[in-house]
Amino acid sequence: MHHLLMKSRNVMLSLLLVCCLMAWAMIRTKPPGAREAFDRNPRQLQFSATALCRLKCLGMAQSDAAAVVANGLILYHKSNRRATPCPVWVVQGTTATGITCRLRLEQCAAGTIVVGAERPGMAATCACNDAPPGIPMQEQRSKK
């Protein structure tokens, strides 16, 4: 009788552990809620110096980047919506002139900052690490 009681207790503990693991997995993989979803029409779209250099190198205007933000495909597997202080999103789309590009954005409460641009599958040919000094990202965030 004592062994039967111990077996049922072990089964209950194992079941509880499995339920907790399943709940954790469901919470961890749920899609973003309304308050943390990507805003396709931000009040303010800013560009880092590196992003401006990359856009110029790709032959794109800031308006092209804004169109990709508004209409592009969000690459959730490359995005980090839990990044702090601002979630990082990767959006891919095609401009009106036919350029396929991928943008990396930091979306903060006060605005969205384009921090990078690239052509998928193509090696970067621009020397944008030497981009002209712009407003550093930390200063942009502190001004908001």
Query: How does pLDDT run across 123-138, given as a tens digit for each residue?
Result: 777 787 655 444 343 3
Give me Rg for the CA atoms of the chain.
22
At 3 the pLDDT is 56
Q: Residue 22, SS3?
A: helix
Angle of helix 49-58 relative to helix 62-71, nearest 10 degrees?
Answer: 100
Q: Which of 40, 39, 42 is nearest to 111 (CA)?
A: 42
Span of 3-7, 34-38, 109-113 with lowest mean pLDDT: 3-7
